[in-house]
Amino acid sequence: MKKKLVNNPDDVVEEMLAGVVAAEPDRYKKLKDQNVLVRADAPVDKVALVSGGGSGHEPTHGGYVGPGMLDAAVAGDVFTSPTPDAVYEAIKAVDSGNGVFLVIKNYTGDVMNFEMAEDMAEADGIETAHVVVNDDVAVEDSTYTSGRRGVAGTIFVHKIAGALAAQGASLQEVKEIAEKVVANVRTKGMALYPCRVPAADESTFSLEENEMELGIGIHGEPGTERTEVKSADEIVNNLVTDVIEDLPFSANDEVAVIVNGMGGTPLMELYIANRKVNEILGAKNIDIYKTFVGEYMTSLEMAGLSVTLLKLDDELKELLDAPTAVDLLK
Amino acid sequence: MKKKLVNNPDDVVEEMLAGVVAAEPDRYKKLKDQNVLVRADAPVDKVALVSGGGSGHEPTHGGYVGPGMLDAAVAGDVFTSPTPDAVYEAIKAVDSGNGVFLVIKNYTGDVMNFEMAEDMAEADGIETAHVVVNDDVAVEDSTYTSGRRGVAGTIFVHKIAGALAAQGASLQEVKEIAEKVVANVRTKGMALYPCRVPAADESTFSLEENEMELGIGIHGEPGTERTEVKSADEIVNNLVTDVIEDLPFSANDEVAVIVNGMGGTPLMELYIANRKVNEILGAKNIDIYKTFVGEYMTSLEMAGLSVTLLKLDDELKELLDAPTAVDLLK
């Protein structure tokens, strides 16, 4: 028996979704025969938002289903893109005739399968649009990606596009605000310890006892650098500096911050990291409008963190602050 | 350098609290020269609630400071009771003349130091009272405890006593409701992997590659049994059965549930566990009123979980549902 809280490794996604619905039966329903969670009150008379991807990144994406954020989340197998069929069923379940907007993290399989699902839905007369999130500044191409990877910045797309959709915006308006978030959000991550995939015999990668990896992806894809372990301040300085220089973020910009745990990082360490994020941004006169510290997009029990910055204007601030029933991003 | 996101291991608590205040400056203030977080608007004209204990259990207790829950949280060093002085300063900072109620987890050092702080405050004319939480059914005495340990059930005491205090109840009434929660709440935990304490060279305990420990404490104190790793369903069955038989919980009881991750457990696995919790309670006709799945009281990056059941009546349900500004237990 693998040293994890699982039963048959083949059943982890299905059993997880059963546990989610059991915990909050008034919030979720699961589609029959598909690993898709939808709002219990779907379809709602507005543009619907659908996201998804491989499992193992919880609370991404099921944890963001609810009023003011997503209408459905499609759960693939662990670290595996969901099938076009599953995405298509999600689209049909939440469409109210106002169109469906898909938030896709930039992984080759996700982009391909979500676009195939769009074709299937369009053939049914359902209007769709999508955005591809590619916020990871670390590497240009990677194991599963052409172009930059989509990581924790995706949560800001869920929140802000979800808020605009809840206000009754059109599919085109939702697409435009999502693109605006993508244009203004950047992330970089790192890992100290790898995760253990339920069905695999080994970790997806390994690190020596005094080694860490900067720029790593949320499936353990290669990053930019393997080095000996540095202090929290040095690590955060590396991540934040690369994020700032990429957009670039400048003095007097207002930003929202996510200090995101990869799953096996104590909350204590995320707050130690946030102290340094705050100090670096302060020294550069970049104003912090709002900070989120916690586990937003994980990689099973990988130990490590990512730092996300989103450059804000009045429109984005208002939507970021808009009410949502989703605890994690209130 | 230790393989953790820390700087100097001696500074972890102070740097963590700085990071907490940096993340939510409108919610928290930190007492000068003490590792105490208080509500930004303290003192509030009501009975004040103070809790605390060793650090390393985040979000316990700082994460529960806010309207409807705690007025102050005292953070000791990692896995070390806070000093009487620190608790005394917390009491003084939040007292509005209506008295201060202390929620103490049952560890010898915590009980002693909180009671000494009460004596100091009473000498100043501040009225105090306390409850000792001892919800862990696993063992009677343990490394740091005489009697049962106080673990994740403490969160229900914060929530329910906090709600009653927010409604303007007296110190005596707050004490009585806290005692009622303690009388009706039970927990049992387990671990697959130990945690790594920042200042120590080794883990607090070790487990073989195919070994787990049932009934373990939140500092890695000995539990009831070391066995080879079992399936999630078997593990949950062990925990829930022992919890149910202890009170005992019976058919037609209504309960609130916490499926609590110890820090290094993927959320996926907590939901897999919750599926089984739900199934076992359903088979016994114990009604689930509300379920919380997540990290509520951790042990740094220990991998494992605990299951808490609280038997409810109408009064407890109303207070559990009362509004709070604390996201984690809304």
A95 — phi, psi (to 5°)? -70, 130
Question: Which residue in B has a C-alpha nearest to residue A21's C-alpha?
Answer: B275
pLDDT the model gives residue A143: 77
Stated as kind and residue range, the H or E segment containing A281 is helix A267-283
Considering chain B, what percentage of its residues have pLDDT values greater than 70? 98
B117 min Cα distance to partner chain A (Å)? 26
DSSP state of B65: B
B297 — phi, psi (to 5°)? -145, 105
pLDDT class of A19 with cuts at 50, 70, 90: very high
Q: Per-residue DSSP letters for A57-104?
A: STTTTGGGBSTTSBSEEEEEEETSPPPHHHHHHHHHHH--SS-EEEEE
pLDDT in tens, A65-123: 999 999 999 999 999 999 999 999 999 999 999 999 999 999 999 999 999 999 999 99
Pick from A101, A152, A105, A156: nearest CA to A321: A156
pLDDT the model gives residue A325: 84
Residue B1 lies inside a defined structural domain of this protein: no
Question: The CATH number of the domain where B321 resides is what?
Answer: 3.30.1180.20
Query: Residues A256, A291: contact at Cβ < 8 Å?
Result: yes
Q: Is the pLDDT of residue A177 over 70?
A: yes
Query: Residues A305, A260: contact at Cβ < 8 Å?
Result: yes
CB atoms within 10 A of CB B185: 28
Mutating which of A272, A289, A321 best tests the B interface, going by the most B Cβ atoms within 10 A?
Answer: A272
If 0-12 CB within 10 Å is exposed, 13-18 middle and 19+ buried, where does residue A76 land? Answer: buried
Separation between Cα atoms, residue B7 and residue A46, nearest integer Å: 48
pLDDT the model gives residue B222: 85
pLDDT in tens, B268-282: 999 999 999 999 999
| A266–B298 C-beta distance less than 8 A | yes
Residues of A in contact with B15 (CB under 8 A): 232, 271-272, 275
Number of domains, chain B: 2
Which position has the token pair 């509300």?
B290
pLDDT the model gives residue B330: 60
Residue B4 lies inside a defined structural domain of this protein: no
- Say if residue B302 is in the same domain as residue B316: yes
Please state the rounded mean pLDDT for residues A154-175. Answer: 98
- Say if residue A192 is in the same domain as residue A87: no
Query: Residues B13, B7: contact at Cβ < 8 Å?
Result: no
Pick from A125, A15, A31: nearest CA to A86: A31
- Say if residue A159 is in the same domain as residue A303: no
| Cα B226 to Cα A106, A193, B161, B191, B200, distances in angstroms | 44, 25, 36, 10, 24
Enumerate residue ranges in chain B where pLDDT < 70: 1, 201-202, 329-330
Query: Residues B67, B324: contact at Cβ < 8 Å?
Result: yes
Residue A308 lies inside a defined structural domain of this protein: yes
Residue B60 lies inside a defined structural domain of this protein: yes
| B314/A contact by beta carbon, under 8 A | no
Q: Could you say which residues from 203 to 222 on chain B have a Cβ atom under 8 Å away from some Cβ of chain A?
A: 209-210, 212
Select from A183, A208, A238 the last residue of a domain. Answer: A183
Virtual torsion, Cα A190, A194, A195, A196, nearest 10 deg: 170
Query: Residues A171, A97: contact at Cβ < 8 Å?
Result: no
pLDDT the model gives residue A139: 87
What is the span of the domain harbouring residue A41? Answer: 9-183
A3 min Cα distance to partner chain B (Å)? 6
Select from A149, A183, A217 the last residue of a domain. Answer: A183
Residue B216 lies inside a defined structural domain of this protein: yes
Select from A131, A159, A183 the last residue of a domain. Answer: A183
Question: The CATH number of the domain where A117 resides is what?
Answer: 3.40.50.10440
- Say if residue A36 is in the same domain as residue A142: yes
- Say if residue A178 is in the same domain as residue A276: no
Q: Could you say which residues from 87 to 106 on chain A have a Cβ atom under 8 Å away from some Cβ of chain B?
A: none
- Say if residue B218 is in the same domain as residue B176: no
Q: Which of A59, A263, A274 sits opposite B19 (nearest CB)?
A: A274
- Say if residue A207 is in the same domain as residue A234: yes
What is this structure's pTM? 0.97
Query: Residues A259, A291: contact at Cβ < 8 Å?
Result: yes
Mutating which of B57, B226, B271 best tests the A interface, going by the most A Cβ atoms within 10 A?
Answer: B271
- Say if residue B241 is in the same domain as residue B281: yes
- Say if residue B35 is in the same domain as residue B128: yes
pLDDT in tens, B22-44: 999 999 999 999 999 999 999 99
- The catalytic residues of A are 57, 219
B27 min Cα distance to partner chain A (Å)? 12
| B183/A contact by beta carbon, under 8 A | no
Please state the rounded mean pLDDT for residues A163-170. Answer: 98
pLDDT the model gives residue A87: 98
DSSP state of B254: E
A118 min Cα distance to partner chain B (Å)? 28
Residue A1 lies inside a defined structural domain of this protein: no
DSSP state of B149: P
Pairing state of beta strands B28-30 and A211-214? unpaired
| A60/B contact by beta carbon, under 8 A | no
Query: Residues A282, A126: contact at Cβ < 8 Å?
Result: no
Question: Which residue in B has a C-alpha nearest to residue A208's C-alpha?
Answer: B3
Stated as kind and residue range, the H or E segment containing A221 is none
User: Which ranges of chain B does DSSP label H, i.e. alpha helix?
Assistant: 12-23, 84-94, 108-123, 154-166, 171-184, 232-246, 267-283, 314-321
- Say if residue B40 is in the same domain as residue B179: yes
Mutating which of B1, B5, B11, B228 best tests the A interface, going by the most A Cβ atoms within 10 A?
Answer: B5
| A223/B contact by beta carbon, under 8 A | no
A219 min Cα distance to partner chain B (Å)? 14
pLDDT the model gives residue A130: 98
**How far is C-alpha A181 from the chain's CA centre?**
13
Residues of A in contact with B24 (CB under 8 A): 291
Residue B101 lies inside a defined structural domain of this protein: yes
pLDDT, mean over chain A: 95
- Say if residue A115 is in the same domain as residue A208: no
Separation between Cα atoms, residue A218 and residue A143, nearest integer Å: 11
Q: Which of B233, B266, B328 sits opposite A7 (nearest CB)?
A: B233
User: What are the b/e assignments for B90-107, b being 16+ CB within 10 Å?
Assistant: bbbbbbeebbbbbbbbbb
Q: Per-residue DSSP letters for A132-184?
A: EE--B-S-SSBTTBSSSPP-TTHHHHHHHHHHHHHTT--HHHHHHHHHHHHHH
Pick from B162, B198, B217: nearest CA to B328: B162
Q: Which of B192, B232, B263 sits opposite A7 (nearest CB)?
A: B232
DSSP state of A110: H
If 0-12 CB within 10 Å is exposed, 13-18 middle and 19+ buried, where does residue A33 land? Answer: exposed
pLDDT the model gives residue B201: 67
Residue A235 lies inside a defined structural domain of this protein: yes
CB atoms within 10 A of CB B209: 7
B140 min Cα distance to partner chain A (Å)? 26
pLDDT the model gives residue B144: 80
Separation between Cα atoms, residue A313 and residue B39, nearest integer Å: 30
Separation between Cα atoms, residue B316 and residue A288, nearest integer Å: 39
Please state the rounded mean pLDDT for residues A3-15. Answer: 96
pLDDT class of A2 with cuts at 50, 70, 90: confident
pLDDT the model gives residue B1: 56
- Say if residue B149 is in the same domain as residue B17: yes
pLDDT the model gives residue A203: 72
Residues of A in contact with B230 (CB under 8 A): 1
Residues of B in contact with A63 (CB under 8 A): 267
| B3–A229 C-beta distance less than 8 A | yes
Query: Percent helix, strand and coil across chain A, each rounded to 5?
Result: 35, 25, 40
Query: Percent helix, strand and coil across chain B, each rounded to 5?
Result: 35, 25, 40
pLDDT in tens, B116-172: 999 999 999 999 999 999 999 998 877 788 899 999 999 999 999 999 999 999 999
pLDDT the model gives residue A201: 67
Query: Residues A22, B278: contact at Cβ < 8 Å?
Result: yes
| Cα B289 to Cα A24, B250, B255, B314, distances in angstroms | 10, 14, 6, 11
